[in-house]
Chains A and B, each alone.
Chain A
Amino acid sequence: MTAPSELRLFRTLVAWDFLREMRRRTTLLSMGVMGVITLFLFSFAIRPEDAVLANTRAGILWVTFLLAATIGIDRAFRNDAESGVLEGLLLAPVGRATLYYARVTSTFLFVASLQALLLVLFLLLFNQEIPRATLAPMLAIVAATSLGFVAVGVLISAMTWSLPAGDVLLRILLFPMLLPVFNVAVEATDKAFAGRAPSWLHVGMICAFDLLFLGAGHLLFEHLVKDSGGRT
């Protein structure tokens, strides 16, 4: 019997991880509830009037996305490690880069599904709308930025899951690392709400961020999971 190709292993790992989380729903539910709570916190923290929202809506949306997505990122390895699944995965003949990309893809799928729900909720609760002309560019910006979040997040999650107060450390390490692309995403989203397409500079910066960290993950992930006696 020949060994399965890395692509097939990748597809299997993504499908397994995604279906498992969808059945269990705990991560997705925690992320969703956190997102809703954040939206409500904003409704109390600022006066949700049109004049205020015109300047703050993109920021509110991205802070909500970030806080909710972090829960999913934090659990990228923690759940598996606690149940002993991770040890088995690391013993399996799977390339470390394949494991990294599979975890990024499955986490990205949860985060993207959640963001779709939160975006609809945000538009309904805050009585906002996205002009039809800029809807597609805005969704592309959201997806590309979230991919960058997850690419960095999975790496940092592999660093912190086993540490005492690792969930707090994850946020301390992750948020400053994301701030440059967060800033660009807020600006691009703000433009999209106002009916203007995002600039090529913004698109280029987000894509460069994604490629940079996906490449870094490809090269560095193996250093986070080897020489550790089966622990990541």
Chain B
Amino acid sequence: MNTAAAASDADWSQGAIPFERPAPSRFFVAHAALALGALLWLNWTIVHDVPLAIKGIGSSYLIFFYHFPSALNMGVAYTALMAFSVAYLRTKRPVWDRRARAAAEVGFLANAVLLLTGSTWAKAAWNAWWVWNDPRLMSAAVMSLVYVGYLMLESAIEEPQRRRQISAVYGILAFVNLPVVYYSIQWFGVASHPMKMDGMSDPAIKSAKWLSVLLFVPFYLLLYRWSYDRRTRAEHVEDVLQRVRRLEEKAA
């Protein structure tokens, strides 16, 4: 970040208007939409060329190439949210709060995609959209509820400084769930969730798996940037509004 932008962030809480004009949101939405289209098409091409259909479950294995990148991106986003929250509590710079909020939105989206793809696969493999005794499915669903709480908490507090402070503490507490999801199968015993499918050790599938991850990362990064800019603009407007109110009060 350049010096001017850093200064604008530092001055924000004192009421200064940053001079860095945020990029228009349509730019990022268009790019994200394009990126999503491209990656879905690419992902489909890559995984369809994988020279085998995994035994026993037919073509439903294709979902895995959307499911796994979402899980990975969700983990990264929630870890980043925790790190940004710690950074906010240490520095009190509002920029970390905006980054944390953007990471929460991206993480939640990836979490939703993870649940949706997992549930679709469950219907194909287990003939049920939802299975209550699968610890990983359950813990991932619980984690999405924890982060819905984060987003609700953020919108429930009006005073900016207090909102940042409380959300940062909650962002750190919420992170406890990530290891629970990761180790859920070892800890909670019932192993109905596939740890790996037959044929997944095939080099072609392995490289397709990591290529899917590479395709999804820019998409989630774009979404992160879009969400961050949206937040920056909202705070900008809030800031201007507060200053106008103060001027009105003075004039009255």
Q: Which residues of A are interface residues toward B (Cβ below 8 A)? A: 152, 155-156, 159-160, 163-165, 169, 172-173, 175-177, 179-180, 183, 201, 205, 212-213, 216, 220, 223-224, 227-228, 231
Contacts and interface: CB of A to CB of B under 8 A. Distances in A.
Given A179-B142, A180-B139, A205-B187, A227 B165 contact: yes
A27 B52 CA distance: 64
Nearest to B180: A180
Contact of A164 (B143, B153, B156, B162): B156
B54 interface: no
Given A223-B168, A227-B165, A228-B162, A180 B177 contact: yes
A224 B173 contact: no
B112 interface: no
A173 B170 contact: yes
Contacts of B180: 180
A226 B66 CA distance: 44
B177 A220 contact: no
B174 A177 contact: yes
Contacts of A155: 169, 173
A163 B156 contact: yes
17 contacts: A156-B170, A163-B157, A169-B156, A172-B149, A173-B152, A173-B153, A173-B170, A175-B145, A176-B145, A177-B146, A177-B149, A180-B142, A205-B187, A220-B172, A223-B89, A223-B165, A228-B165
A152 B153 contact: no
Nearest to A172: B149
Contact of A152 (B152, B156, B157, B173): B173
Interface of B, helix, strand, loop or mixed by DSSP = helix
Interface in B47-98: 89
B153 A159 contact: yes
B142 A176 contact: yes
B173 A177 contact: yes
Given A152-B173, A159-B169, A183-B188, A176 B149 contact: yes
Interface of A, helix, strand, loop or mixed by DSSP = helix
A227 B142 contact: no
Contacts of A205: 187
Interface in B164-209: 165-166, 168-170, 172-174, 176-177, 180, 187-188
Contacts of A163: 156-157
A84 B166 CA distance: 21
Contacts of B174: 177
B161 interface: yes
Contacts of A227: 161, 165
Nearest to A205: B187
Contacts of A175: 145
A186 to B, nearest CB: 12
B68 to A, nearest CB: 23
Nearest to A201: B187
Contact of B153 (A169, A180, A201, A228): A169
B143 to A, nearest CB: 8
Nearest to A152: B173
Contacts of B170: 156, 159, 173
Contacts of B89: 220, 223
A159 B146 CA distance: 15
Contacts of B143: 176
B169 A224 contact: yes
Contacts of B148: 172
Contacts of B176: 177, 212-213, 216
Contacts of B187: 201, 205
Give the one of A159, A160, A164, A169 with max B CB within 10 A: A159
B112 to A, nearest CB: 15
A176 B12 CA distance: 34
A213 B172 CA distance: 11
Given A164-B156, A180-B139, A173 B149 contact: yes
B81 to A, nearest CB: 15
